[in-house]
């Protein structure tokens, strides 16, 4: 599942768990699924965060390595 799909499913589960009419066994099963989804979402977020840090670092390195050539005034 994509990040967005997992997040949507987690939101659905949260709503079902808030419902007093959800049977106990179903609630336990949903809670277990929510735990797995949370772990997966956190893993995906960490991966994305690392990618952003790498991209940011590479961009900063490129900016630092560009030579500065002042323009001559006439």
- Quick count: other Cβ atoms within 10 Å of Cβ 13? 21
With tokens 């965060």, the residue in question is 49
pTM listed for this prediction: 0.72
The rounded distance, in Å, linking the Cα atoms of 47 and 31 is 24
Task: Tell me the pLDDT tens digit for each residue of 18-70.
Answer: 999 999 999 999 999 999 999 999 999 999 999 999 888 887 776 665 555 55
């Amino acid at each position: 599942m994509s990040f967005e799909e997992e997040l949507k499913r987690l939101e659905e589960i949260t709503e079902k768990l808030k419902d007093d009419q959800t049977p106990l066994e179903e609630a336990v099963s949903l809670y277990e699924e929510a735990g797995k989804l949370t772990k997966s979402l956190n893993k995906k977020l960490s991966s994305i965060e690392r990618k952003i840090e790498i991209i940011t670092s590479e961009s900063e390195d490129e900016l630092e390595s560009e030579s500065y050539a002042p323009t001559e005034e006439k």
